[in-house]
Amino acid sequence: MVILGLPLIDHTGFAGAASRYLGLKTVMQLLGPMLVTIYAFAHSLKGILLFIFQIRITRTCWLPCK
């Protein structure tokens, strides 16, 4: 098996499953917090923008026009 041009030992059976599991676990430990942070930031930004636009719509609809 070759990943990023680096030859790795081809494991089969239990050793292969264990190495794939550990590889996936390591990647998710690195990417997991970043993905959660990006999602939380996008979610809070969406709420803030909706609140701002609601205020804008309310002010334009309820205030008398000149």
- Dump pLDDT digits (tens) for 5-64: 555 566 567 877 888 889 889 989 999 999 999 999 998 999 898 888 887 777 776 656
Give the Cα separation of 34 and 23 in Å (integer).
18
E-strand stretches of 1-66:
2-3, 6-7
Give the Cα separation of 48 and 1 in Å (integer).
48
This prediction's pTM: 0.47
pLDDT in tens, 18-27: 888 898 899 8
